[in-house]
Amino acid sequence: MKLLSLAAFLGSLGSLIATPVLAQQNCGSRDQVLNRLESKYGESRQSIGLAPNSGVVEVFASPETGTWTILMTQPDGTTCLIASGQAFEAMAAIGVTKGDDV
């Protein structure tokens, strides 16, 4: 359930900001982008979802350094940077029982 909520959020986020990022040409081959995230930042995939345009949206992060990156890979295999930052923190899913006040 949490993954679906994250995927929906990232899908809407991707549709809002993907165009400016693509215009800046922050894109490359998927293998090169993933190798750089691993080697330079120690980031690994934390979550994945499907965007409305059939792009794959992924969040990469390093629990050790706190850096994070959101990528979108287009159906043609082009991978583009959507956003990046610091202070990544993994959150545990909190279950809500029907009838609980939230």
pTM for this predicted structure: 0.68
Contact call for residues 79 and 73 (beta carbons, < 8 A): yes
For 21-62, write each residue's pLDDT tens digit.
444 569 999 999 999 999 999 999 999 999 998 999 999 999
pLDDT tops 50 at residue 1? no
- Residue with the two structure tokens 């059939």: 54
Q: Where are the beta strands (DSSP E) in 14-98?
A: 27-29, 44-50, 56-61, 68-73, 78-85
pLDDT at residue 4 greater than cutoff 50: no
What was the pLDDT predicted at 3? 43
